[in-house]
Amino acid sequence: MGKQDINADSVTRQILQGTRAAEKDHAFDDAHDPSRPADYWFQESDEGPILFVVFYSQACRWSRCLSCNLPARMSSRHVPFPALMAQVDYLFQQHDILQLAPTLRKVIVSNNGSVLDEATFSSTALIYLLAKLNVHLPRLAVVTLETRIEYVDLPELEFLARALREGQTPTALELAVGFEVFDDRIRNEVFHKGLQLHQVDELCAKLARYGFHLKCYFMQKPVPGMSDAEAIQDIQRAIDYLAELARIHGTRINLHLNPTYVAFGTALERSFRSGEYAPPQLADVARAALLAEGKPITLYVGLSDEDLACEGGSFVRPGDEALIAALERFNRSQDFAGLKTALAMGSRRPTRNTPQR
């Protein structure tokens, strides 16, 4: 057995141990065709059209966050770089991607874990992806790499940024980090994120030296026992914190706000089934988003559960259609006035009694 095989086995054990520690009972998608990405879709934001790609790789090594079942769409075993490169080739054979290629301004690269973790996502495949982006996307302005902070290697990032600058237009590098919740105790003792504020502070200072951008994912109301008001307050603290980092370092920062859905196979699903937890109301998510008005950061509201919610566990409820449309418009425009108007109009409509489990 070679060194790579031993390391791969060790990573698999680490993933399974984290999954058990978090008391998750979801399976892994080991039967997925390794030459095909797990998923891709398009988004619209104030930065322009976005391609969001989730590559199929070995699952996140941390794998213990309380309500996260993203590893369920990944492999428990090592996915070698030729398979990942085949996934890249597959993307640029898709008619919808090729059709939008001349206008795409941003690509978000995910593997539902850390694409900078070379144990689960090959560096060879990552370089291959960047080369293909340079060839196929003439107007690309930003490439976002999702990762945990411990896998960030600045010399590697500097090399990746140089490669991106060889494209047809100047392309910035952005790192996306799962923050999930601002409250330290909830984030690490309840949600088990394993992320300290000083790590984010240090990362932001390093990124600023190279002109790299930062995206932070937050979840609104991610754990049982958090009231709707407390959830909004937590997002307000996150906005204030990121705004201060942006002022200090001059870093371009985006807060990506995800309403929490109830992910199947997690402890959150059990709390939902017992009536101890209900997802946030979209109106409260809109109220939280409005707290970013006038701050030196941008905010994007995620509106998809990626088909990972358990039955009945989505944050979308009957009657939310108009507010969803308003939030989508906000994502494209950062128009706080329009969002305020939509929220006010929604509050004047008769409310529906929506049963909650």
pLDDT digits (tens, 9 = 90+) for 166-187: 999 989 999 999 999 999 999 9
Residue 292 domain-assigned (yes or no): yes
Residue 356 domain-assigned (yes or no): no
State the average pLDDT over residues 201-205.
95
The reported pLDDT for the residue numbered 190 is 94
The reported pLDDT for the residue numbered 347 is 62
The reported pLDDT for the residue numbered 1 is 32
- Which H or E element spans position 152? none
Residue 353 domain-assigned (yes or no): no
State the average pLDDT over residues 309-332.
96
State the average pLDDT over residues 328-350.
87
Higher pLDDT, 349 or 125: 125
State the average pLDDT over residues 341-354.
64
Residue 207 domain-assigned (yes or no): yes
Q: Indicate if the pLDDT at residue 346 is higher than 80.
A: no
- Which H or E element spans position 210? helix 197-210
Q: Which domain holds residue 255?
A: 3-348
- Looking at the structure of the chain, the number of domains it has is 1
Residue 26 domain-assigned (yes or no): yes
Q: Count Cβ atoms below 10 Å from residue 26 Cβ, excluding itself.
A: 18
Residue 55 domain-assigned (yes or no): yes
Q: Indicate if the pLDDT at residue 305 is higher than 50.
A: yes
CATH number at residue 269: 3.20.20.70
The reported pLDDT for the residue numbered 345 is 85
Q: Indicate if the pLDDT at residue 270 is higher than 70.
A: yes
Residue 354 domain-assigned (yes or no): no
pTM of the model: 0.92
Q: Indicate if the pLDDT at residue 5 is higher than 60.
A: no
Whole-angstrom Cα distance, residue 203 to residue 194? 15
